[in-house]
Amino acid sequence: MTFVMSVKMALSSVWSSKIRSFLTMLGIIIGVAAVILLVSMVSASTQQMKTQLESMGTNLINVNINRGWGSGRSVSNAELQAFCDENSDIIAYCSPAISSRGTVKYGGDNVTSSLYGVSGEYMLIKNREVVSGRNFTETDISNRNNVCIIGEYLVQELFGGMDPIDQEVKVNNEVFKVVGVLDQKSSNVSSGGEDDMILIPYSKAQRLLRNAGISSFVISASSSDYTDDATEAVENFLYKKFKNENFYNVMDQAAMMDTIDEALASMALLAAAIAGISLVVAGIGIMNIMLVTVTERTREIGIRKSIGAKTGVILMQFLVESAVISCIGGILGIIVGVAGSAGICMAMGMPVLTLADQAVSIIGSFLFSAAMGVFFGMYPAQKAAKLNPVDALRYD
């Protein structure tokens, strides 16, 4: 008796009680679909975040100085600039990045936005462009000019889309002239995000925020190959200055991405494990139905044995049957899961994953459901195989 025949027989047996087979499969279908949906959702949002991070520049290095109370610890821009100039082979640009929140007023409207004190090089480091007007000049920095560059969100909110160049706005009650507008980053301006920001010269920001030292900088490596080297050089420089590595924190974009990746991967695993529990429950359901099936078909088993079916043949027949139920359930679950995740991704404006992206969760959940079928089919199949032919033939 070949395996192919067992499969054929199992298929016809599954087909002959359609409703029961479908209900038995339902658990597997839901379990597999849930695994695929959850894993896809997590990896789609990971992809989205990665794309966002990459658009900020993969060469980016963030430096934070932990300024303890009254310690006066700080690095001046001149010091850092000098360091960067010395290492111009691996470091391309650096800029202070004093961040705060600021109230921006124009006419009667007023908006609270992210306020950054930066130099003109900030745009190059962050991959931003000044699409209309101009960038900050050396003079703006040295004279602490009251000039600002605003994001598209503020253009919409304060100016209603009208050209804001040379208009005057009030930032924390001081008058600034708008000299430039940043490129639009997100597809939907009203969500704010990276379009909801206002940039001013860092020297002005120090005054405005009564902030003598600079606590954070952004640096870009000359190419992504040098990110590690540049990070190390910055760390060495800061260690020489502070003699204590707890006083500063240097993080490159790759390390940040790794951190996010790790966090999301463990989230995906957790989600898959929770959904996996439903697969185990579905497996128990299969075992239950297979036990009923074996009892119902006791006479058939008796007949088969009386005309020469060996123990292994009967075992195989019932094992294949439960594996067929769980595999068909697995395939249907994959279809539901893939279609569902594509639908949700589209609805939520996330990137739609390709089948290759989902290969691990598809193959994994399919194999797991097949294994469930075999594992939970084993006991009923053994029960069938061990039946005594005389008793089985007499069974009504």
Partner 1 sequence: MIKIEDMYKIYKVGDSEVRALDGVSLHIKPKEFVSIIGPSGSGKSTLMNMIGCLDTATSGKYFIDGVPIENLSENQLAAIRNKKIGFIFQVYNLLPKLTALENVELPLVYQGIHAKERREMAIEALKKVGMEKRMHHKPKELSGGQQQRVAIARALAPHPPLILADEPTGALDSKTGIQVMEMLKQIHSDGNTVVLITHNTDIARQAQRVIRIADGQITSDTTNTEGVVCE
Write the CB contacts of 181 (distance below 8 Å, at least 6 apart in sequence).
Answer: 130, 131, 132, 133, 149, 150, 151, 152, 155, 164, 165
CB nearer to partner 1: pick between 129 and 300? 300
DSSP 8-state code for residue 75: B
Count, residues near partner 1 per rule CB under 8 A: 23
Choices 50-58, 144-152, 216-224, 310-318 (CB under 8 A): range interacting with partner 1:
310-318
- Is 393 among the residues that bind partner 1 (CB under 8 A)? yes
- Is 67 among the residues that bind partner 1 (CB under 8 A)? no
- Using CB under 8 A, pick the residue from 78, 162, 307, 347 that binds partner 1: 307
- Is 256 among the residues that bind partner 1 (CB under 8 A)? no
Is residue 64 within 8 A of residue 252, CB to CB? The reply is: no
d(CA 341, CA 202): 45
* Tokens 């120090």 belong to residue: 206
- Is 304 among the residues that bind partner 1 (CB under 8 A)? yes
- Is 317 among the residues that bind partner 1 (CB under 8 A)? no
DSSP 8-state code for residue 247: G
C-beta of 288: minimal distance to partner 1 in Å? 22
d(CA 28, CA 366): 10
* Tokens 């579905």 belong to residue: 282
According to DSSP, the residues that pair with 96 across neighbouring strands are 217
Amino acid at 197: M
**Interface map 264-303 toward partner 1 (x if CB under 8 A):** -----------------------------------xx-xx
Instruction: Give, for 212, the enclosing helix (H) or strand (E).
Output: none
Write the CB contacts of 348 (distance below 8 Å, at least 6 apart in sequence).
Answer: none
Amino acid at 188: N
C-beta of 389: minimal distance to partner 1 in Å? 5
- Is 390 among the residues that bind partner 1 (CB under 8 A)? yes
- Is 310 among the residues that bind partner 1 (CB under 8 A)? yes
3-state secondary structure of 327: helix
- Using CB under 8 A, pick the residue from 1, 23, 269, 270 that binds partner 1: 1
CB nearer to partner 1: pick between 251 and 313? 313
Site for partner 1 in 10-49 (CB under 8 A): 12-13, 16
CB nearer to partner 1: pick between 147 and 316? 316
Which parts of this chain interact with partner 1 (CB under 8 A)? 1, 5, 12-13, 16, 299-300, 302-313, 388-390, 393
